[in-house]
Structure formats: C-alpha cells, structure tokens
Amino acid sequence: MQDVTDLRFWRLLGRYGHADAYVTEYIRVYPHSRVDKDIRQDILLNDTGCPVIAQIAGEDVPSLARIAEGLQSLPVAGIDLNLGCPAQVVCRKHVGGALLKDLSKVDEILAALRARITKVPFSVKCRLGYETASDFEKLLELFSRRRVDWVTVHGRTVRQGYGGRADWDAILRAAESLNCPVVGNGDISDPVQAARMLEETRLSGLMIGRGAVRNPWIFRQIRQARDGEPVTLPTGREVLTYLYAIKEMTSIVEHSRGESAHVERSKKFLNFIGAGISGEFLYRTRRARTWTEMEAAWKQYLDMERPYSLIPEG
C-alpha cells in the first residue's frame, strides 16, 4: 500500500504480532527507471526478521525484465507483479489493474518475467478483471501456462475499487483450478473467519492490507484462532497507544512540513482504523486540523478498557 506499508510500518506491526512476510510498496517501472531509493533502503535495512517481497508495476516489457533481474541481487524473498492496483493515477498510465484490459500484454509481460526471474519466486497479484470478471478464467490460464510460482487474488474488479464485497467464491475457484499456491485478499477483518478459511479451503495463505492497518493485532489473532485459543481483543486504551505510535511514526516523514501536514499524513492510517471503531470517530478524525482536535477525538472514543474487535460494521 503506497505511503503506508513501508519499513517503519512493518516495524510497528512487530509490536503487535508480525506477518509471515511483507510486500514492498510498488516499484514503478518505466524506461530508464531505477528501483525507488526509499524502497531499496526498506529492503536493505529490513530488520523485522520477516522476508520481504519486492512488488513491481509497469507495462514496458524490457524495463520490467531489467528491474526484475536487478532486484534479484537484493535480499528479497520474491518478486511480485502488480496487476491489481485500482488507483486511477496508476490505471491512467496503463499499469497495475489497467493491464487486465489487455490479456495479450499480460501474457507478454509474464513470459518475459518468467524468463528473467530465476533466483527467487515469481508471483502475481491480480483482481478478477477490469470492468467485469468475464475474462478471469482466461487470466488464470495465463498464470498456469507461464508457470507463475504463486498468485494473490483480490476478489473485486478494478472498477469496483474497494466498494461492495470481495467475491470469495471466485478466489476459492482460483485456488481449486490453478496449479500453484493461491493467496486470498480482500475484506479480511475477522480473525476467526480467516483461520477457518485457511483450515477448510485450498488457499495457501491470506494477504492483509487495510485490515492490518486497522487492526495490527490481526496476525496474532489468526494464529490464536488456528491454535484453538481464545482471540485476544485490544482494549480502547491499547488502540489509543497504537494511534500515538502512528503519530510518532508519521512525524519522522512530516517533521519539516508542519503540524497540518503531519495531521493529514496520519489520516492515511486513520481512514482505515476509524472504520473499525465507529462512524462518529471516523467523522471527527477526518475533520481534525490540529493535533489538539485529533487527540481529543481519540481520547473521547478510546480512553477506556472496553475491548474492540476492530471489525467494520456491515
């Protein structure tokens, strides 16, 4: 997730229960580009104890192959092609999810990357399609033919963005049909349900983005559920401590731009977190302009011992 899931956030997650692996922000690839220096540093300085997978996004085939080959000299556990980003600023450049409009182009990219990525696993993250899921089966056939090592499927089309509900039936069909491991993604908020999905289906794993920002305890909670243990919920005050940790983390990035920029930066995280608390909390934090206003809202809703599931309503 751009501007969110960098090394600082991986380290923060480690306080609450780390993931099994992390994926970098996407490395934008185009002619003459290099690996973004901040992402390169995140890879080189990774001290979380968890492997890191480098994510690339682009449509220029020679450039993608060149960057993929260079990434294999860094300490990465794999290279992942982004075929799912729905952001219009990305799709307008015909990369990310926009590539799903042209499966012949996807095939060309897969073939080139499969030939060049030989030292680490090669994976793909995709959506069900661009406008509709009508070509999803054809997309899965490409993944099988090009011998992708594993695939993450987000259960929405690109046009859906993050609206509606992820189609987990489609994700599970992919897990049944592909000849490689499949990881499910989309709307993963309930740790008990997530654990059941891992136990009862052919999924090889789950990728959690927004849900992990909202609830950094979720990885530990899923492990508890899989082990048959009660799921431990954080109290309001523990969530409050997490928010102060986000304030501290984002201050490193925004320290030179003033209070307003720092408050706005924190909202990249709070927009996800607020959905697991209440609509009123989300309303207050989105409209805060100073840290005095922001922290007053935090304390009003969270300065208590009440446990929070952090699962969004509806």
Active site residues: 85
Tell me the Ramachandran region of residue 194: left when phi exceeds 0, alpha when psi lies from -120 to 50, beta otherwise. Answer: alpha
Q: How far apart are CA 82 and CA 123, in angstroms?
A: 9
For the chain, how far is it from start to end, CA to CA, in angstroms?
A: 24
The span from the CA of 280 to the CA of 255, in Å, is: 29
φ, ψ of residue 306 to 5 degrees: the values are: -60, 135
In this structure, is the dihedral angle defined by the CA atoms of residues 57, 162, 144 and 205, taken in order, positive or negative? positive
| C-alpha span between 248 and 312 (Å, rounded) | 25
Among positive and negative, which fits the CA dihedral 142, 116, 28, 216?
A: positive
The angle, 0 to 180 degrees and rounded to 10, between the axes of the packed helices 279-287 and 291-302 is: 170
